[in-house]
Chain A
Amino acid sequence: MFGKTSGLMVVILFLFTVIAVAAAESIPPKVGTALPDIDLLMPDNSADRKYLGLPSGGKTFQVGRIKAKVLIIQIYSMYCPYCQADAPNVNRLYGLLESNPALTGKVKLIGIGAGNTSFEVATYKKKYSVAFPLIPDADFKIHKIIGEVRTPYFIAVKITDGGRNEVVYSRLGALEDVEQFLGQIVRTVQSN
């Protein structure tokens, strides 16, 4: 009798632990914390790898390996009307980053296609002439880790030496005012 009760307690304790860990991971990234470990699919084109400062080879990479001081991450989907409408604004953000010598190479931008296959990511990239890397997340694996946020969602992380990172921006919603968004990111990073 004691053995069965003890067994039940152990099973319940184990399951509560598993659920607690899962719940902790399913919260949207909070400012001041580190982004959870996510494995991003390595871009198959050399231009994207060069932009991110990644070597060729390897199936996945982590945020900490990107050569940048700050990484802006757009969580989007080709099936999301707000993301579609916001695509020109995000393209303009990329243009501002690449045309400002103070930011080029230091602040970089990627998109993660939540629930989007490689084909769907490529379709969106072509449709909106997206010049920055878009990473597929076909099975929602990354999307689950970062709290199943609605789209579009923007996260900015400061990448420190040694590949550690700190979330400095985390918000739901389209960019709309690109200059204001970029100014906020720059000020946040400068004040840290």
Chain B
Amino acid sequence: MKIKAVLLIFIICFFAGNACAASAAFENNIYNPGELKPTDSVLKVGVGNEAPAFTLPALSGKTVSLSDFRGRKNVVISFVPAAWTPVCSDQWPGYNIIQDIFESNDAVLLGITVDNIPTLFSWTNQMGKLWFDVLSDFWPHGSVAASFGVLRSDGMAERAMLIVDKKGLIRYIDVHNINQRPPLEDLVRELEKLK
């Protein structure tokens, strides 16, 4: 029994931690929470459902509503768990160099976290100038994430990607393993289906 316990502890210690190629842009500024439960929420929406309406403050100073894009643009919503964490810090900078892919699919990107605006300001400054809106779902805390069913029990959002079409209908949902970055090709493939 003791042998099994010792073996288990060693295996857990050995394989703990997540792989991420943290950019030197964030050197010494990233808090590593370690390996987290891959998902920790229950979805309240499904593909084909109308997306819950929301209005949130943006980093730019304006407010953004999902309805702003109704009839005009497809909307990619990228929920990430928290600022200053390893995988999140290595996700949006990639989207920042593919504005052309979003535009060619008649889509906009909305990045959402449960952090407040000052935190988002400092964090995204490390990413260079972002072309897309970054929204704060800080107060009431995580209410938009909760309306989609992607608010975790610890108050962070899931690493979730949704596509809402011009009619306001949800066309794609990926509540991804929080410890891993979603492959870009999955998103692009789903965007191209909207054409």
Chain A contact residues, CB within 8 Å of chain B = 4, 7-8, 11-12, 15, 18-19, 22, 75, 77-85, 114-115, 117, 119-120, 123-124, 127, 138-140, 143-144, 148, 150-152, 172-174
Q: Which residue of B lies closest to A115 (CB)?
A: B21
Other-chain residue from A4, A15, A139, A140 in contact with B10 (beta carbon distance below 8 A): A15
Asked if residues A152 and B14 are in contact (CB atoms below 8 Å), the reply is no
Asked if residues B128 and A85 are in contact (CB atoms below 8 Å), the reply is yes
Asked if residues B127 and A148 are in contact (CB atoms below 8 Å), the reply is no
- Please give the number of chain B residues whose Cβ is less than 8 angstroms from any Cβ of chain A in the complex: 30
Asked if residues B3 and A119 are in contact (CB atoms below 8 Å), the reply is no
Other-chain residue from A7, A81, A124 in contact with B23 (beta carbon distance below 8 A): A81
- Check A81/B127 contact, CB under 8 A, given A22-B14, A123-B184, A127-B97: yes
Q: Which residues of B contact A75 (CB under 8 A)?
A: 21
**How far, in Å, is B18 (CB) from chain A's closest CB?**
9
Other-chain residue from B2, B90, B101 in contact with A115 (beta carbon distance below 8 A): B90
- Quick check: is B91 within 8 A (CB to CB) of the other chain? yes
Q: Which residues of B contact A85 (CB under 8 A)?
A: 128
B119-155 Cβ-contact flags toward A at 8 Å (1 or 0): 0000000111000000000000000000000000000
Q: Pick the 6 closest A-B CB pairs, nearest first.
A: A114-B21, A80-B23, A79-B94, A140-B19, A119-B185, A79-B90
Asked if residues A120 and B184 are in contact (CB atoms below 8 Å), the reply is yes
Q: Which residues of B contact A150 (CB under 8 A)?
A: 21-24, 27
Asked if residues B24 and A119 are in contact (CB atoms below 8 Å), the reply is no
Asked if residues B181 and A119 are in contact (CB atoms below 8 Å), the reply is no
Query: In the docked arrangement, what's the CA distance between A141 and B21, Å?
Result: 11
Query: In the docked arrangement, what's the CA distance between A119 and B98, Å?
Result: 12
Q: Which residues of B contact A124 (CB under 8 A)?
A: 97
Q: Which residue of B lies closest to A124 (CB)?
A: B97
**How far, in Å, is B171 (CB) from chain A's closest CB?**
20
**How far, in Å, is A80 (CB) from chain B's closest CB?**
4
User: What are some 25 contacts across the A-B interface (CB < 8 A)?
Assistant: A4-B3, A11-B3, A12-B6, A15-B7, A77-B21, A78-B184, A80-B24, A80-B90, A82-B25, A84-B128, A115-B21, A115-B90, A119-B184, A119-B185, A120-B184, A123-B98, A139-B19, A143-B21, A144-B19, A148-B21, A150-B21, A150-B27, A151-B21, A151-B23, A151-B24
Query: In the docked arrangement, what's the CA distance between A128 and B90, Å?
Result: 18
Asked if residues B14 and A18 are in contact (CB atoms below 8 Å), the reply is yes
- Quick check: is B47 within 8 A (CB to CB) of the other chain? no
Query: In the docked arrangement, what's the CA distance between A15 and B15, Å?
Result: 12
Q: Which residues of A contact B93 (CB under 8 A)?
A: 79-81, 84
